[in-house]
Amino acid sequence: MIPKMVRFFEKYAIYDYSDEEIVAEICRRVKQLRKGCRFSQQSLANASGVSVATIKRIDSGQMKDMNIMTLIQILRATGSLDGVADLVPDVPDPLYKTKIRVPKP
């Protein structure tokens, strides 16, 4: 079990953790979120469309490769979609793809 990540998404510290440790931390947070919303495992499964077996694997820390759709469904059911947009940075199109109009002399 990994120690609780106090500043989990700190810009550089995140790279100190393995992929498995990051998934374990996300599972821990999802379990806390479920309990904080007063969802039972069954009620979260019903609200999110995720199987109760998956919710149990998340709660027990046995989930090794969480599907992004599963995470989105759970976050939507708990009203916690706010941070999803920050999962992947919005990178502007490279300059070579940008059409630049050069004024005619």
Number of domains in the chain: 1
User: Residue 6 pLDDT more than 70?
Assistant: no
| Residue 3 belongs to a domain | no
User: Residue 7 pLDDT more than 60?
Assistant: no
Structural domain of residue 49, as residue ranges?
13-97
**45-85: per-residue pLDDT in tens?**
999 999 999 999 999 999 988 899 999 999 999 999 998 88
Structure confidence at residue 50 (pLDDT): 97
Whether the CA torsion 83, 84, 85, 86 is positive or negative: it is positive
| Residue 2 belongs to a domain | no
| Residue 74 belongs to a domain | yes
**9-31: per-residue pLDDT in tens?**
555 577 888 899 889 999 999 99
| Residue 5 belongs to a domain | no
What CATH number is associated with residue 59? Answer: 1.10.260.40
Report the SS3 class of residue 26: helix
Confidence of residue 37 (pLDDT cuts 50, 70, 90): very high
